Structure 1
Amino acid sequence: MKRITLVILVLSLWSMETNAQMQKGFWMLEGSAGLERSRMTNLADDEKFDPTTGYSFHPKVGYFVANNYALGVSGLFGNSWFRNKDYDQNLPNEFKKSNEFTYGGGLFLRKYMPINEDLSFFAEAGSEIFWVKPRVVYNEPTGVESGLSRRTLSAQAVLGLQYLISPKLGVHMQTNLIHYEKTKFLQEGNSSQSEFKAGFMIQPRFGITLFL
């Protein structure tokens, strides 16, 4: 009888701890990563350019201001690169490669919608500002040049699915449903452009969340 009581007590405490990590007063630490590979096509002659490859990393820190509601700050770090596959090192001024380093941060508000003790949907609204610093490499005598720097303000609505491996550790997959960006080019008269995307599987990411 004592063993049965002890088992019930342990299971009860486990359940309480499992349900507690998304309650008011708790913290969350999160890191997610994304990969990108895209290719431009010239519609006039259907010519396909060499692909651009990149990665990004999104750290987040949030505080549960109410049960299932987390408010926090995010960071953004990433890099993408483009290489000329037909590069000839013997040609002067020949384009070799370019890369773009991205960094910034923002704010987010997330709502969890538990399905059971281990599985939850979450919806998130966030906004970030980030800077992009390009670097272009040519053969001599041109050498290394800085490309057109830009600053981007973004806003997005996110849908995600989280699974708890343990009461304090979860893994998740998320995707943007709505994504808006306004970019200002910091040279050449500070020109700007806007972009709006809506759909599913826009910038999908996988990540890990730690609850404290």
Structure 2
Amino acid sequence: MKQKFLLSLLFVCMFIVSSKAQINKNAIWLGGNIGFSQIKNNYEQQDENKTNSLSLRPAVGLAVKENLVAGVSLIYSKGKTDNYGYTGATLKENSYGGGLFVRQYIPVVSRLYFFGEAEAAYTVYRSKEIPKNNPVTETKGWFATLGLSPGISFGVNKRVQLESGLNNLFQLQYGKTKRKTDITGGDADIETFSAGINFEGQSPFYFGVRFLLNNKG
């Protein structure tokens, strides 16, 4: 519901101001986005499972040509799941890293753009699973990701943009983690590979603000 409201708000803003705003070559692109997701699941013979996650992605880029931006980003996310697994554990997760991206804007009408962003990123992952009456399990590792994030952007003026989208809606990911439990012989090395479309809150909706410096023309 919130996603539909924010996207609708951008369309309404389009009709309030009618002057044209392009992203010109050599403009410096600054800003970031913040995302939040909440997932609730009910299973038989288990209390409600609830996951809250937060992500932050500051970024800087340069318009290498009109409506095409290339740059770097920083990545930070954290999450917490209550009643995780059949032990009723609390799961705490966090990750951090960075990436290189290319974003193409496609003008729709005055001030309104669709965009697609391709990013190659590397993140370090940490988690701690804390059961009620069992040993604590810690997981450490890293992930390399190729992702595509679609979205919509509205130019408030030549220097400020509002946007919303889906982080890594399409992605290819490879990673290695090491799982360690506080008991003898509880270690395990895990190698993972995944590809496809993220659903069910794994591709969090976000809202962001971008600032354009030196956007002449």
| Band the TM-score falls in, shorter-chain normalisation | 0.7 to 0.9
**Residue equivalent to 1:88:** none
Give the distance between the partners of 1:53 and 1:72, measured in 2 at CA. Answer: 29
The two structures have a TM-score, normalised by structure 1, of 0.73
Of 100, 125, 134, 2:127 maps to 134
Of 166, 179, 182, 2:171 maps to 179
Unaligned residue ranges in structure 2 (runs of 5+):
1-17, 180-186
Q: How does 1:41-190 map to 2 (within 5 A)?
A: 49-84=48-83, 97-137=90-130, 145=136, 147-175=138-166, 176-187=168-179, 188=187, 190=189
Larger radius of gyration: 1
Give the distance between the partners of 1:41 and 1:207, measured in 2 at CA. Answer: 32
Mapped contact 1:151–1:186 kept (Cα < 8 A)? no
Mapped contact 1:52–1:81 kept (Cα < 8 A)? yes
Unaligned residue ranges in structure 1 (runs of 5+):
1-13, 86-93
What SS is found at the alignment partner of 1:166? coil
Q: Deviations over 1:43-90 (max 9, x none)?
A: xx58565211111111111111111111100111111012349xxxxx
The two structures have a TM-score, normalised by structure 2, of 0.72
Quick one: higher RCO (CA 8 Å, sep 6+), 1 or 2? 2
Give the distance between the partners of 1:183 and 1:65, measured in 2 at CA. Answer: 32
Give the count of matched residue pairs: 184
The residue identity in structure 1 corresponding to 2:125 is V
Give the distance between the partners of 1:196 and 1:127, measured in 2 at CA. Answer: 14
**Residue equivalent to 2:31:** 30
Q: Summarize the Cα distance change of 1:40–1:131 in structure 2 as closer, same or farther, 3 Å threshold.
A: farther
Mapped contact 2:37–2:205 kept (Cα < 8 A)? no
Q: Summarize the Cα distance change of 1:74–1:101 in structure 2 as closer, same or farther, 3 Å threshold.
A: same
Give the distance between the partners of 1:180 and 1:112, measured in 2 at CA. Answer: 22
**Residue equivalent to 2:184:** none
Q: Summarize the Cα distance change of 1:199–1:152 in structure 2 as closer, same or farther, 3 Å threshold.
A: closer
Displacement after TM superposition at 1:138 (Å): 5.8
Give the distance between the partners of 1:112 and 1:135, measured in 2 at CA. Answer: 40
Identity rate, percent: 21
What SS is found at the alignment partner of 2:80? strand
